[in-house]
Amino acid sequence: MTPVVANILQPLIDAANAVITFLADDIGLSWGLSIIGLTFLTRALILPLSIKQIKSMRALQELQPQMKEIQEKYKDDKERQQREMMAFYQENGINPLASCWPLLLQLPVFLSLYQLLRSNDFIADVCGSPTVTDCPQAAFAGIESLLIKPEGLELVILIALFISTQLAAGLVMASRVEGPQRYIMFILPIVIAPFIITQPAGLALYWITTNVWTIGQQYVVKRVAPPPEKAQPEAVAGAKAVKAPPPPPRKKKKRR
């Protein structure tokens, strides 16, 4: 990461350091649980946006028939189709990119944690010296150190956890979105994965934790505020079939 980007992220790096250090030194959590605590706090702060995202995606699902009509009507004129779709979104107060914001807003925190885990000052706080060797304080849940790149069995386990939780979270999120947003949700983690497995294990712990939050959040949403049920095509057709026919026209009386 370039010094310019690191300087821009410095306030977030300091905030992440303050949160993790507070949880570890003042609350008494392990450094691994402190990183999990930072993840939960981050997701809690963007929860209002996540709720807004869910509402926007449900609105999009309800308006799918009208959107498909526009796409079909202007299928031979992509530029006109795009203009009409944007006007439709504006008219209905929908932001089609709302589903991406919770994911994108986590990236600065993720990059800040990346910088923090490589910082000599942070390593000194965790290990008591500016070296990651012989640092049992950085161990967590069978991982030898959250401050170094995992290897061997640790790497295999972290990759398996990352892939499984990411696929589950991606499927949960993709069930609510359409179009390019769905591809972004699957492609972005794939781009991030090679970076994560070559960096300190604390980064993988952060991303696995945020995946678990996403899965749990969607479960709670479905239980507390389930989406409205869609009428089945057969039911709609049946309703039309049993609809009473219009009364016959009244005959006009002939004048004598």
Domain ranges of the chain: 3-222
Backbone φ, ψ for residue 62 (5° rounding): -70, -30
Residue 170's nearest CA partner among 193, 194, 187 is 187
106 CB-contact burial (10 Å; exposed 0-12 / middle 13-18 / buried 19+)? middle
Extract the tokens encoding 111.
Answer: 């990059």
Q: What is the pTM of this model?
A: 0.76
pLDDT tens-place values along the chain, 256 residues long: 666 666 788 899 999 999 999 999 999 999 999 999 999 999 999 888 888 777 777 777 777 788 888 888 888 888 888 888 888 888 877 766 666 677 778 888 988 999 999 888 999 989 888 777 778 889 998 898 999 998 888 888 888 888 888 888 877 766 555 555 666 666 766 777 788 888 899 999 999 999 899 889 888 887 776 665 554 444 444 444 444 455 555 655 555 4
Give 233-236's long-range contacts (Cβ < 8 A, gap of 24+): none
Buried b (16+ CB within 10 A) or exposed e, 119-150: eeebbebbbeeeebeebebbbbeebbbbbbeb
Locus of tokens 């306030």: 11
How far is residue 145 from each of residues 20, 111, 129, 201, measured CA to CA in Å?
16, 19, 14, 7
